[in-house]
Structure 1
Amino acid sequence: MTVSPLDDIVVVLRSAGCVFAEDEAALLLEAADGDAGRLDDLVARRVAGTPLEYLLGWVAFRGLRVGVRPGVFVPRQRTAFLVERAVAGVAPGTTRACVVDLCCGCGALGLSAATELTARGCEVELVAADIDPVAVACARENLAPLSAPVFGGDLFDALPADLRGRVDVLLANTPYVPTERVADMPPEAREHEPLVALDGGVDGLAVFRRVAEGAASWLAPGGTVLVETSTGQVDTACAVLTAHGLTPRVEHSEEYYATVVLGTRAA
């Protein structure tokens, strides 16, 4: 396949079903940096179904370019709403906050939340963790400029014990697709991203339940855990949070087409 002019690439991408062919073509041209052979390879791989973010090596998330690599979950744009709610939940004038990015993937949520809170004058202690070694390595690169540690392990087992009872903001981007629905996901996700980041169990809330169970003992008084769910999972998720001593709240965004469930520990 030989392509070079922008218009030609757009035609090739559009014929392959890329909805945002013009934008993708421009990004692939930028990534090729004048190397025609590399451009041919990038376009061919995109047409074959490789996620655009893997080809670029980064994903745009809340104004940042966050590094990603093959085999790491690509943060969805709707998940920006989770970060928005997390930052909004930290009271203006707060001078210090402990933020944990659990199931961190590439670390985009923790990176963006910490960046935005720091810009407000809040000193952030950021810690991230993931069970997937590939994700841990990727997140360590992204969070290195913040000197934020990234731990490998299963949920709270990965965290340093001295965080217990001190976490003000617990971001947990847990998988919430029911097992039987994973096969219905777009090929870019189900064929390229790790199953552990997609499969939420029978009703999609298996990992969420484990996070809710442990959250209260890790949150500081008044601290909040935030998790993205589907609208159909809200009632169950709220009941689970209540059962573990957390006060639930639900936030919806039409702009992001997203739903976030929050659970707050009593102050």
Structure 2
Amino acid sequence: MSDVADATVVGRLRAAGCVFAEEEAELLYGAASGPGELDALVRRRAAGEPLEHVVGWAAFAGLRIEVGPGVFVPRRRTEFLVERAVALARPGAVCVDLCCGSGAAAAVLLDRVAGAVVHAADIEPAAVACARRNVEPRGGRVYGGDLFAPLPGELRGRVEVLVANVPYVPSGEVGLLPAEAREHEPLVALDGGADGLDVLRRVAAGAPEWLAPGGRLLFETSGRQAEAAVRAVGAHGLRAGVVADEEWGATVVVATLS
């Protein structure tokens, strides 16, 4: 890579509004097999496509998670959710990653929890295909379908850690999201209904049937929704508490089946 070529790529990215143009240029160079592909990748990024979709992967909790067009990009703040799940999972724990998207949470559980038995599910076909590439080589299983519906029946009453990265953006606020999300990620992974908690309520209603005694349901929400989210899971007999991390800007609810 010559200095002139590097400056040209950085300049194109800056002109397109990329704040971290130098870092992005380095990733694009690494993803391109030659000048022609590099030009195509830069054009895609300059047009507003998420960087992770362009280069084909996202950094998440120390892992390289494959992503692609039409797949929700795992957020760095969600590492806080997954860290809490890993901390609660004993060796050999039965774990489920619901609304799994790329399967990032499932991949980390398999990587960090010795002997973990991990299943993941999502309703979006593109996400399911992507998650299979991230999860199944690590020893997990991925299913396509709505929430708990595609999971094997033998998991009922046995799940010790249930991570549900449910969408929680209120429908009326989806239009306020960055264009990268609105235009390139599936709406079903973003829109949580009128108050942002519709999908969570469905997960909370089904969770007691699938959780083992003492099993935990963990999900991310916003700080302003946390109180309502705790009430939502409490309505189904789960004892819930809230943990937050200011550095990541993350709020997580941990609910336990008594």
User: Contact 2:92–2:113 (CA<8 Å) still a contact in 1?
Assistant: no
Equivalence for 1:28 = 28
Q: Distance in 1 between matches of 2:87 and 2:140?
A: 21
Q: Distance in 1 between matches of 2:207 and 2:176?
A: 31
**TM-score scaled by length of structure 1:** 0.93
Q: What letter is aligned with 2:16?
A: A
Secondary structure (helix, strand or coil) at the match of 1:49 reads: coil
Equivalence for 2:74 = 75
Q: Does residue 132 in structure 1 map to residue 113 in structure 2? A: no
Correspondence 1:1-150 to 2 at 5 A: 5-33=5-33, 35-90=34-89, 94-118=90-114, 123-150=115-142
Greater shift after overlay, 74-83 or 138-147? 138-147
User: Which of 203, 212, 236 lines up with 2:204 in the alignment?
Assistant: 212
Give ranges in structure 1 of 5+ residues lacking alignment: none
Equivalence for 1:183 = 175
Q: Does residue 199 in structure 1 map to residue 191 in structure 2? A: yes
Query: Sequence identity of aligned pairs in percent?
Result: 57
User: Contact 1:50–1:192 (CA<8 Å) still a contact in 2?
Assistant: yes
Give ranges in structure 2 of 5+ residues lacking alignment: none
Q: Distance in 2 between matches of 1:219 and 1:238?
A: 17
Q: What letter is aligned with 1:149?
A: R
- The count of residues paired between Structure 1 and Structure 2 equals 256
Kindly state the Cα deviation for residue 146 of structure 1 after the two structures are TM-superposed: 2.0
Q: Distance in 1 between matches of 2:72 and 2:80?
A: 17
4+ residue runs over 4 A deviation: none
Correspondence 1:146-165 to 2 at 5 A: 146-165=138-157
Kindly state the Cα deviation for residue 198 of structure 1 after the two structures are TM-superposed: 0.5
Kindly state the Cα deviation for residue 12 of structure 1 after the two structures are TM-superposed: 1.6
Correspondence 1:165-176 to 2 at 5 A: 165-176=157-168
User: Contact 1:169–1:225 (CA<8 Å) still a contact in 2?
Assistant: yes
Q: What letter is aligned with 1:206?
A: D
User: Contact 1:105–1:139 (CA<8 Å) still a contact in 2?
Assistant: yes
Q: Distance in 2 between matches of 1:197 and 1:225?
A: 19
User: Contact 2:106–2:140 (CA<8 Å) still a contact in 1?
Assistant: no
**TM-score scaled by length of structure 2:** 0.96
User: Contact 2:102–2:128 (CA<8 Å) still a contact in 1?
Assistant: yes
Q: What letter is aligned with 1:249?
A: G
